[in-house]
Amino acid sequence: MSDGHVYDIVAFGAHPDDVELFAGGTLAKSVARGLRVAIVDLTLGELGTRGTHETRKMESAAAQAILGIEHRENLDLGDGFFDVNELSLQTVIEVLRRLRPRQVLANALSDRHPDHGRGAELVHRAAFLSGLTKIETGQEAWRPQAVYHGIQDHWLDPDFVVDIEGFTEVKAQAIAAYVTQFHGPGTDDSEPMTPISSPEFLEYLKARDMAMGRFAGLKLGEGFQVKRPPAVEGLEFLG
């Protein structure tokens, strides 16, 4: 690891299940290609209508195993109440300097749930600050090469699309691990319905992967946005 990185990709999500929803296929494909991948959940998802933070913890561990993710941790910043402030930035900086990812995935820049856009801003700012040597954490400064933002509930035009053909089944299995959140075997019908607990939501996810793929001339895809355009060595590296 000549560039000093530890993980190739670290994916941050505001809640357990966020990463599976916006990047499950991308992460499964990355693992299959031999990349080291980690997930960091910013909160326990304790304010979710269905389930508890204990069940979310078990579900996220099951999803991690399905995707083949090497490492997962939860920062417990406070579902619904975390903010982009010195304390939360310092927490994420310490994680980035410890995990030393080359690339970072984060929540959508804007979305239905306010935690998503706030989580996106938190991770994006922390990724920059993590490279400043005068911010002292007792660790070596580290700045990821890039931060890529997933696309979640709201349709946003992607800046690029990852081909996930062949990896949608493992993505679906990882999402299904969250039995308290999504419709499927083991669903507790006595719990209140939410926008994501209906069978229609799972069909929407499949349709979105098809739409994202079609957007880029692929069969199936996951779209991402960037604040800073990625650099390429030449046109031959573009699809």
The token duo for 82 is 């975390």
For the residues of 79-90, what is the DSSP string, one character each?
TTT--SSHHHHH
Instruction: Give the per-residue pLDDT at 65.
Output: 98
**Tens digit of pLDDT for each residue in 120-131?**
999 999 999 999
Instruction: Give the per-residue pLDDT at 188.
Output: 65
**Tens digit of pLDDT for each residue in 69-108?**
999 999 999 999 999 999 999 999 999 999 999 999 999 9
Q: 40, 72 in Cβ contact below 8 A?
A: yes
Dist CA 195 CA 183 (whole Å): 11
**Tens digit of pLDDT for each residue in 26-42?**
999 999 999 999 999 99
CATH number for the 9-227 domain, one of 3.40.50.10320, 3.40.50.300, 3.40.50.1580, 3.60.150.10? 3.40.50.10320
Domain boundaries, the chain: 9-227
**Which of 61-70, 193-202, 215-224 is predicted with the least confidence, judged by mean pLDDT?**
193-202
| Mean pLDDT calculated for residue range 170-179 | 95
For the residues of 5-53, what is the DSSP string, one character each?
-S-SEEEEESSTTHHHHHHHHHHHHHHHTT--EEEEESS--TT-SSS-H
| Mean pLDDT calculated for residue range 49-65 | 93
Residues pairing with 71 in the sheet:
38
Ramachandran assignment for 136, one of left (phi > 0), alpha (psi -120 to 50 degrees), beta (any other): beta
Question: 201 exposed, middle or buried (CB, 10 Å; 0-12, 13-18, 19+)?
Answer: middle
Judged against a pLDDT cut of 80, whether residue 149 lies above it is answered with: yes
Judged against a pLDDT cut of 70, whether residue 187 lies above it is answered with: no
Please give the backbone phi and psi of residue 132, each rounded to the nearest 5 degrees, phi first: -90, 120
Output the pTM of the full model: 0.94
Q: 121, 172 in Cβ contact below 8 A?
A: no
Judged against a pLDDT cut of 80, whether residue 23 lies above it is answered with: yes
| Mean pLDDT calculated for residue range 143-165 | 97
Judged against a pLDDT cut of 70, whether residue 64 lies above it is answered with: yes
Report helix, strand or coil for 191: coil
The token duo for 45 is 């998802």
